[in-house]
Amino acid sequence: MQIENQTPFDSIALPMHGRADRATLAVIVKATFAFALDRTGVAADQVPIAYGDSFYDEKEGGGIRYESDLAPYKPKTDVVLCGKAYTPDNQPAGQVDVGLRVGPAQKRLRVFGRRLWNHAGVLSRRYEITEAEPFVSCALRYCDAFGGIDQVTGQYFDQNLSGKGFCPVSKKANLAGKPLPLIEDPRHLIKSPADRPPPAGFGFYHRAWQPRAALAGTRDTTWRLERSPRQPHDFNYHFYNGAHPDLQVKGYLKGNEPVELIQLTPEGRMHFALPGIRPLCRVLRTQNPEEEKIAMNLDTVFIEPEVHRFCLVWRGNAALVELSEAGIDRVTLSIESIETKS
């Protein structure tokens, strides 16, 4: 099979098990753009398709920075941002609200300086939160959102195993001096050690965390012996969407959507728009002289404000009879413009 890529972007076509357990040729195009205030352009250095996950700490693993692009299908568009929060005018402050908007997807975070639980009084069993320490910038990672594992009891918060602030509450527990998360959702601020808010962030949501992990299906002995490496019968393809649940767009983004970054760069606010283009994919099958057009869905938007760039990933599927025999001679990729609706 030949791939004729007429775009400046990276691409790949892989036989995979797709929806309804059917063989499919997954066609993936990944484009990198540079952005400045009110304008974007094709980046000189194109980020290649990711064949595996990359981590913030490659040696120790840690949080996922960018998730593998190799998925047969995503039901929605993932909107993901990897970056930092900045205080206004780069002046030290105890907290700052940051915001991300890409078309209909939008989310705000409240970022704090270091805070601890402390006794409300000498004999009090109530706890209060210490004043946040001033900061200028703070990396936005789930290790600083609510969650974690309690080293004493072994209990854990299954929505974010790498976070901080999770403390099993009991009459004997002394929580004084325990840290709170740095990153919270303004709609679900922590007020008590017993609070269990969902983790707040803009990054990729780990496959092992709930509620995403439950979508992976039942992987028991029967699955291992009878179906592996195919997905379980109860596998839900929403599992492939790795963005925070609040940043998954139904019906896909199309292109030309406005983007707004609030306190995610030293400038304070940044506005631009996604490019109004999409890949045009045509497939020539062995037994058919006419090319078949394959719909390409924009299913991943990954923004990196620190280096003023973002990546877009489009994905399409061409049906196959079986994985071992593609029956496709050529895949041709080009670019077409999207008209802006007035």
End-to-end CA distance of the chain: 41
pLDDT at 180 over 60: yes
Q: What is the mean pLDDT of residues 11-25?
A: 92
- Whether 59 shows a pLDDT value over 80: the answer reads no
Strand extents, DSSP E, 245-327: 248-250, 258-262, 269-273, 277-285, 292-294, 297-304, 309-319
Q: How confident is the model at residue 342 (pLDDT cuts 50, 70, 90)?
A: very low
Q: What pTM does this model have?
A: 0.94
Task: Inform me whether the pLDDT recorded for 62 exceeds 90.
Answer: no
- The total number of residues written for the chain in this structure: 342
DSSP state of 325: B
3-state secondary structure of 66: strand
**Alpha carbons 310 and 274: distance in angstroms, whole number:** 9
pLDDT at 287 over 90: no
Query: Span 56-63, mean pLDDT?
Result: 75
Q: Would you tell me how many other CB atoms lie within 10 Å of the CB of residue 125?
A: 8
Sign of CA dihedral 36, 41, 46, 49: positive
Q: Are 140 and 80 in contact (CB under 8 A)?
A: no
The tens digit of pLDDT for each residue in 226-264 reads 998 889 999 999 999 999 999 999 999 999 999 999 999
So where are the chain's domains?
2-83+221-337, 86-188
Helix, strand, coil distribution of the chain in percent, nearest 5: 10, 40, 50
185-231 per-position pLDDT tens digit: 999 999 999 999 999 999 999 999 999 999 999 999 999 999 988 89
Within 8 A by CB and 6+ apart from 222, the residues are none
Q: Report pLDDT for 139.
A: 96
Separation CA 315–CA 12 (nearest Å): 10
Half-sphere exposure of 98 (CA within 13 A, CB side): 32
